[in-house]
Chain A
């Protein structure tokens, strides 16, 4: 299952935090900061899977070389879009490549909702951001992966606010988000 979904920007400022277990606010912040440290140091050519941050590694990656327990979060997947990092922490029961697809669906759904989404949209409409995630994942279980249904579900909850008119330029396309796109966007 999925243990957490995080979104933060290039400076490490959180834009969305969703933990599917109850966690102290301070621990949440430490985890975000640890993951940011890991992710910010990665070159663009690197793969989209992070080593476990110290907070998670200390308890799960014990000296035993056996496969990690299925309940323990053991996979940190991320994708980087312009100014934002999207991160999913999950257990080994999820498929790593499929999670990358899931992030892609999430971002595409946001793009569909905001029409050329950018970080500002997400800052000012963080409720919609949460609602979109809520259509994809409930309690750590992925309940929907079809783009149109996600968008439909969010729209059913009410009008999606647009970013204030004077607040910035448009032009957010997701056309080419990183390399390897065509390789597994087989959905």
Chain B
């Protein structure tokens, strides 16, 4: 039979164009056969081929046992293949892992350096805690191997061991430290150790402070940039713990910044200065000024260097880290940073976006949002088909293509220039990100940065149009548990709702926007032309048109749109909101008791109700319970109302006033009026005190049963009219007048200068669609028209005093003649809510210039008692955080186990304690003493042993051997434990002389020397066991510590 080599396999793949799948299947079949033979060469070749195919996603887990077989081959070539196969194919659930342990142990202790390297490289990939425990003793001696390449690899391997089995560090750390302190150590090994220390460092920086002098020397010596970078990163975690380091570090760092030719090192120096808090520490001093200037200057230099996008990217990263602490430094660089928002490179844009969110203030908000909006509007929408050619086998799995032999695989690894430099269309997740960021920037601190809310509403409407399509919008699967952040449309909707509720002065504009979003005939115009983007906004727009139905300019149109057949395709959540809006809008249309109940009116109303009933009827069997329930409720209500309407006689056609049915004018509106809705702080509900006299145990009426029985009887007797009579009690109409607010003169004076000056129309035109701009202009004109102080040059309309009325009439709100005070564009001075609580927050102007511009009242969250924003928020944020924590990222290697392990040599209860020099010295002394004591014990033992041998030469061999073994064991334990656990070492030291005495006594030559020796052994063993126990308790104590840190 002809056997393929790896070379043949690859050649074969390249020649079998179009039939790779079959070829691969055949090859794997061959491999299965080959791997079962007894020929090691054949097995190993098969393994190599399988490993190659594994790279393309072809499973080889079935061959794991064969991997072990080849691993045990004495030939290095075979071993290498097998180890590679193991690294690439072993997974957590690979069962043969247990069997591999012995082979790994064997190879780690091999005399050949190249063989040792193999398990060293493989162990990190396959390790689990139990394996780590047993491999540790074999790995530790490799730290002092004569070959530096073995030493450095062992360091890396031990780090991964420590990640799964933190106890590794107890015996390993002293040895690693010893290597690090050794000035004569190979620089490569030192660099590898620094790498590992840097990884360990951020978990428990306090443990590494004692090393600072040595690390500092290494940094100053320089030579290896990679190591220097790691050292700087490590120092950045140490400086917060040891402020004295800062003074020492500053000169070498500034020296490096000024002198190094390596950009990476320069950048990390700046980064280290920023992250290590050095900037803060030296603030105010002349040095500090200089350093800050130097850093920011260099960063700026990185941003403006022509053609190096990488530097731009990392500079943005660095700015992002200082923006919260040194916003003034960053805002000086605003010009270059803002440029990056429009960078053709998405990576840079993302960074800039993150940064800009931290930089935003009321001065630059409009400009920044304008830039982002322009981007969204002008870039082509990336359709999902765009990247399909690149979407290499996402579903089908990958087969190596057959490439013709003249493929470009022979091209040298030179830069190639064939790709176009066109910016790619904005990917969807970027769009979503931008929209979220805009919303975040604008809504920060309850809209503290917004000066012009009409502008904001226009931005929101424009955002809907540029929203990318969402994936799950089919009505059925859009369930309650859908993550609401998944759809930006809903985020936009929430903002619109928030503004409408909180900012009364623009409520009518917000409702206007909501109305235009809801109207079906404007849907093409308001939403993205393709896809279903932004549909989530309808849920909130639907709520707004219902809740603030009085502001609607065309309630009929809204009603028609809500009940349009298209609405049935909406998600059940939106549909439920729509259903709630139907009676609200209906109430606003029918509820006016000033309109005479003429035959026309009656027909109109009856028709409207018939349409509503027609719309609701099919929905009463909707699969969504929420929709169903609401549909059934309102269906009944409408039927009742329809009956009442048809039963009420109409007045004559001669203009006599006839009362409309009370059900329409009083009862239904009363369902939806009442208290004004206000935003409530999260957690406020909890603070409502329980009334002291609240007694939930006593029945309110002891003879409920008889009462119910009576009620049933009475029900039959009740006259229908009485039901209606019940409604006739005077109820405040939902259109009740708002208490007319008194407006102070000074505020009136402010009114004419409301026009914001913070934006320029020219800029707006770049990111708002023409229709929105047209509307804006019209509105602006309108606003001036309504302004009682504005003198209209044309002067062709009524006096300013009636304008609010006039406006409403003009816009054809059916017979709603009640002046809506809120529509008057004069700022309210809400006297009612001014008492104590900070329910209403009149925004204090930040700069005097803007104070003259506009003062907008934003309703803050309502809460009880003192405001504990943080506490209240925690309730809500907490579960989400937990979830995020629980979910581990794909490639993440969890190192949290390390956090609980103290490397602190003191090893006593206060784990976080910093070591003073004195402590170290004392400990070293103790250690030396203990070593001496141990040597003494050993010497005495040997003496004793010899003595016993002399005395009873025959028949003693077994006992002696046993004893020897135990002696060694005790030593190992002491070596390992004593250094790590200092205090225990002390105890051990005390114990040693005790033992010594015992042994001296035992030296008395008599017959039961045997038994005496045995007893001592027992004692030793017990001591060891005891110590072990203590050590474990210590770890447990340490584990408690991080919770407080």
Can you list, as one digit per residue, whether each of A1-24 has a CB less than 8 Å from chain B (1) or not (0)?
101100001111111111111111
Known: A21-B892, A97-B263, A157-B114. A118 touches B192 (CB 8 A): no
Could you tell me if B394 and A30 are in contact, using CB atoms closer than 8 angstroms?
yes
Could you tell me if A120 and B409 are in contact, using CB atoms closer than 8 angstroms?
yes
Could you tell me if A146 and B188 are in contact, using CB atoms closer than 8 angstroms?
yes
In the assembled complex, the Cα of A177 lies from the Cα of B412 at a distance in Å of: 10
Could you tell me if A46 and B344 are in contact, using CB atoms closer than 8 angstroms?
yes
In the assembled complex, the Cα of A19 lies from the Cα of B307 at a distance in Å of: 33
In the assembled complex, the Cα of A171 lies from the Cα of B412 at a distance in Å of: 6
In the assembled complex, the Cα of A158 lies from the Cα of B79 at a distance in Å of: 13
Could you tell me if B890 and A124 are in contact, using CB atoms closer than 8 angstroms?
no
**In-complex Cβ contact of A71 among B125, B153, B229, B893 (8 A):** B893
In the assembled complex, the Cα of A67 lies from the Cα of B264 at a distance in Å of: 21
Instruction: Judge if B621 is at the interface, Cβ distance under 8 Å.
Output: no
Can you list, as one digit per residue, whether each of A142-166 has a CB less than 8 Å from chain B (1) or not (0)?
1111100100010011100000100
The minimal Cβ–Cβ distance linking B482 to chain A, given in whole angstroms, is: 15
Could you tell me if A59 and B890 are in contact, using CB atoms closer than 8 angstroms?
yes
In the assembled complex, the Cα of A70 lies from the Cα of B54 at a distance in Å of: 30
CB < 8 Å A-B pair total? 345
Nearest A residue to B305 via CB reads: A183
Nearest A residue to B156 via CB reads: A138
Residues of B within 8 A of A31 (CB): 890
Interfacial residues of chain B within 97-120, with CB under 8 A of chain A in the complex:
113-114, 117, 120
**In-complex Cβ contact of A80 among B87, B159, B346, B415 (8 A):** B415
Residues of A within 8 A of B57 (CB): 25-26, 28-29
Could you tell me if A48 and B310 are in contact, using CB atoms closer than 8 angstroms?
yes
The minimal Cβ–Cβ distance linking A84 to chain B, given in whole angstroms, is: 6
Could you tell me if B892 and A3 are in contact, using CB atoms closer than 8 angstroms?
yes
Could you tell me if A180 and B308 are in contact, using CB atoms closer than 8 angstroms?
yes
**In-complex Cβ contact of B413 among A84, A140, A146 (8 A):** A84
Residues of B within 8 A of A17 (CB): 55, 88
Instruction: Judge if B422 is at the interface, Cβ distance under 8 Å.
Output: yes
Could you tell me if B264 and A64 are in contact, using CB atoms closer than 8 angstroms?
no
Residues of A within 8 A of B413 (CB): 81-84, 107, 111, 117-119, 172, 174, 177
Nearest A residue to B275 via CB reads: A67
Nearest A residue to B884 via CB reads: A62
Interfacial residues of chain A within 125-152, with CB under 8 A of chain B in the complex:
126-127, 130-131, 134-135, 137-146, 149
Could you tell me if A149 and B415 are in contact, using CB atoms closer than 8 angstroms?
no
Known: A63-B485, A186-B262. A139 touches B156 (CB 8 A): yes
Could you tell me if B157 and A101 are in contact, using CB atoms closer than 8 angstroms?
no
In the assembled complex, the Cα of A138 lies from the Cα of B416 at a distance in Å of: 31
Can you list, as one digit per residue, whether each of B300-343 has a CB less than 8 Å from chain A (1) or not (0)?
00000101111111100100010000000000000000000000
Q: Which residues of A come within 8 Å of B, CB atoms?
A: 1, 3-4, 9-31, 33, 36-37, 40-51, 54-57, 59-60, 62-65, 67, 70-73, 80-84, 89, 93, 95-98, 100-102, 107, 111, 116-120, 123-124, 126-127, 130-131, 134-135, 137-146, 149, 153, 156-158, 164, 168-169, 171-180, 183-187
**In-complex Cβ contact of B268 among A98, A131, A140 (8 A):** A98
In the assembled complex, the Cα of A41 lies from the Cα of B92 at a distance in Å of: 34
In the assembled complex, the Cα of A183 lies from the Cα of B301 at a distance in Å of: 13
In the assembled complex, the Cα of A59 lies from the Cα of B889 at a distance in Å of: 5
Could you tell me if A4 and B199 are in contact, using CB atoms closer than 8 angstroms?
no
The minimal Cβ–Cβ distance linking A16 to chain B, given in whole angstroms, is: 8
Interface window among B395-403, B469-477, B508-516: B395-403
The minimal Cβ–Cβ distance linking B976 to chain A, given in whole angstroms, is: 23
Could you tell me if A97 and B891 are in contact, using CB atoms closer than 8 angstroms?
no
In the assembled complex, the Cα of A11 lies from the Cα of B407 at a distance in Å of: 11
In the assembled complex, the Cα of A134 lies from the Cα of B421 at a distance in Å of: 36
What are 14 A-B contacts defined by CB distance under 8 Å? A17-B55, A37-B391, A45-B344, A59-B888, A59-B890, A80-B415, A84-B413, A98-B264, A119-B413, A141-B156, A143-B191, A146-B224, A158-B114, A169-B410
Residues of B within 8 A of A95 (CB): 229, 233, 264, 267-268, 271
In the assembled complex, the Cα of A57 lies from the Cα of B417 at a distance in Å of: 30
Residues of B within 8 A of A18 (CB): 87
Could you tell me if B160 and A27 are in contact, using CB atoms closer than 8 angstroms?
no
Residues of B within 8 A of A149 (CB): 149, 188
Known: A47-B310, A118-B410, A177-B414. A73 touches B485 (CB 8 A): no
Instruction: Judge if B831 is at the interface, Cβ distance under 8 Å.
Output: no
Residues of B within 8 A of A183 (CB): 263, 305, 308, 311
In the assembled complex, the Cα of A95 lies from the Cα of B314 at a distance in Å of: 10
In the assembled complex, the Cα of A84 lies from the Cα of B196 at a distance in Å of: 30
Given A49-B347, A101-B264, list of 20 further CB < 8 A pairs? A33-B391, A42-B424, A44-B417, A46-B344, A65-B357, A73-B891, A73-B892, A82-B416, A83-B411, A93-B198, A116-B412, A118-B411, A127-B81, A138-B157, A140-B156, A141-B195, A144-B152, A176-B414, A186-B263, A187-B262
Instruction: Judge if B532 is at the interface, Cβ distance under 8 Å.
Output: no
Could you tell me if B157 and A153 are in contact, using CB atoms closer than 8 angstroms?
no
Known: A33-B392, A157-B80. A98 touches B229 (CB 8 A): yes
Residues of B within 8 A of A71 (CB): 889, 892-896
In the assembled complex, the Cα of A26 lies from the Cα of B196 at a distance in Å of: 31
In the assembled complex, the Cα of A24 lies from the Cα of B280 at a distance in Å of: 46
Could you tell me if A3 and B424 are in contact, using CB atoms closer than 8 angstroms?
no
Could you tell me if B48 and A127 are in contact, using CB atoms closer than 8 angstroms?
yes
Known: A51-B347, A93-B233, A138-B121. A145 touches B226 (CB 8 A): yes
Instruction: Judge if B285 is at the interface, Cβ distance under 8 Å.
Output: no
In the assembled complex, the Cα of A120 lies from the Cα of B48 at a distance in Å of: 17
**In-complex Cβ contact of B202 among A27, A43, A70 (8 A):** A70
Could you tell me if A138 and B153 are in contact, using CB atoms closer than 8 angstroms?
yes
Instruction: Judge if B387 is at the interface, Cβ distance under 8 Å.
Output: yes
In the assembled complex, the Cα of A65 lies from the Cα of B195 at a distance in Å of: 28
The minimal Cβ–Cβ distance linking A128 to chain B, given in whole angstroms, is: 10
In the assembled complex, the Cα of A21 lies from the Cα of B91 at a distance in Å of: 9
Known: A4-B891, A21-B891, A33-B391. A184 touches B262 (CB 8 A): yes
Instruction: Judge if B1001 is at the interface, Cβ distance under 8 Å.
Output: no
In the assembled complex, the Cα of A143 lies from the Cα of B202 at a distance in Å of: 19
Could you tell me if A93 and B199 are in contact, using CB atoms closer than 8 angstroms?
yes
In the assembled complex, the Cα of A146 lies from the Cα of B224 at a distance in Å of: 9
In the assembled complex, the Cα of A17 lies from the Cα of B412 at a distance in Å of: 21
Instruction: Judge if B995 is at the interface, Cβ distance under 8 Å.
Output: no
The minimal Cβ–Cβ distance linking B699 to chain A, given in whole angstroms, is: 48
The minimal Cβ–Cβ distance linking A105 to chain B, given in whole angstroms, is: 9
Nearest B residue to A55 via CB reads: B890
Residues of A within 8 A of B195 (CB): 141-143
The minimal Cβ–Cβ distance linking A133 to chain B, given in whole angstroms, is: 9
In the assembled complex, the Cα of A140 lies from the Cα of B894 at a distance in Å of: 13
Could you tell me if B419 and A44 are in contact, using CB atoms closer than 8 angstroms?
yes
Can you list, as one digit per residue, whether each of B348-361 has a CB less than 8 Å from chain A (1) or not (0)?
10100010010000
In the assembled complex, the Cα of A14 lies from the Cα of B397 at a distance in Å of: 12
Could you tell me if A43 and B412 are in contact, using CB atoms closer than 8 angstroms?
no
In the assembled complex, the Cα of A179 lies from the Cα of B306 at a distance in Å of: 11
The minimal Cβ–Cβ distance linking A30 to chain B, given in whole angstroms, is: 7
Residues of A within 8 A of B265 (CB): 186
Residues of A within 8 A of B347 (CB): 46-47, 49-51
Nearest A residue to B115 via CB reads: A157
Could you tell me if A96 and B887 are in contact, using CB atoms closer than 8 angstroms?
no
Could you tell me if B419 and A98 are in contact, using CB atoms closer than 8 angstroms?
no
In the assembled complex, the Cα of A118 lies from the Cα of B722 at a distance in Å of: 95
In the assembled complex, the Cα of A184 lies from the Cα of B84 at a distance in Å of: 33
In the assembled complex, the Cα of A153 lies from the Cα of B392 at a distance in Å of: 35
Could you tell me if A1 and B893 are in contact, using CB atoms closer than 8 angstroms?
yes
Residue of B159, B188, B268, B891 with highest tally of chain A CB at under 10 A: B891
Could you tell me if A139 and B344 are in contact, using CB atoms closer than 8 angstroms?
no
Closest 9 CB pairs of A and B: A186-B262, A139-B124, A172-B412, A47-B309, A138-B156, A97-B264, A81-B413, A184-B263, A3-B891
Residues of A within 8 A of B262 (CB): 184-187
**In-complex Cβ contact of A25 among B59, B891, B892 (8 A):** B59
The minimal Cβ–Cβ distance linking B154 to chain A, given in whole angstroms, is: 9
Residues of A within 8 A of B268 (CB): 95, 97-98
